[in-house]
Amino acid sequence: MNRCEWAGSDPLYVAYHDAEWGVPLRDGRALFELLILEGAQAGLAWITILRKREGYRRAFDGFDPTRVAAYDDADVARLLADPGIVRNRAKVNGAIGNARAWLRLAEERSPAEHLWSFVGGAPIRNRWTRLSDIPAQTDASRDLSRDLRARGFRFIGPTLAYAFMQSAGLVNDHVVGCFRHAELAAG
C-alpha cells in the first residue's frame, strides 16, 4: 500500500496517517484540540505529540475550551509537573490563552466556520507528486496565522497554521501516489 513517505513505519504514525491526517474536521472541539496540539508541537517532531496526545486530553480536560480558559496559576503548576505533556511554560500558557481567544471568537461566530472560511468552506485538493513539492506555508496559512494572532492566539505562525490546515483536512496534501489522496478527494 502506497503512503506518504513521512508516515514511515512507526505504527502510531502510520495509523495517524491512514485514519486521521487530512480528514476534514468540522467539529469545534476536535479543531480546538488540534490547534493546541499543533502549538505544542512547535520545535518538536509530531510523533512526540502523538505519543503524548492521551496525556494532553487528560491534562487539558478533554480540550474543553471553557474549562481550559478558566485555568489559573495552580493549573499551570499542575500542567508543568505532568510528564504526560510537553512541560514548557510558554506552550502551557499559550494553550490557556488560545482557549480564551477561542471563546472570544465563538462570541462572534463558530470557530469551525471561521477556520474553514480561509479555504472557502471546502478542502483545497492539491496534487503533489513528491513530499518535497509540498510547501511549508501558503498564502492561506499566512492569512490564517495573521488573523488568529490578531485575535490573541499564540503558537500559530504561518508554518504551524499550514500544518494545522493539513491535519484538519482544510487541504489535502497527501501525495497523489498515496492511497489516502484519492479516498479523501472522493469524499
Catalytic, 183? Answer no
Neighbours of 54 (CB within 10 A): 10
Contact in structure between 63 and 36 (CB atoms under 8 Å) = yes
Amino acid type, 11: P
List the catalytic residue out of 21, 38, 71, 102: 38
102 is catalytic: no
CA distance 16 to 21: 6
Nearest to 18 by CA among 9, 30, 28, 29: 9
One-letter identity of residue 122: A
Spatial separation of the C-alpha atoms in residues 33 and 145, rounded to whole Å: 17
Check: CB of residue 85 under 8 Å from CB of residue 52: yes
Q: Clarify whether 16 is annotated catalytic.
A: yes
Q: Which residues are catalytic?
A: 16, 38, 46
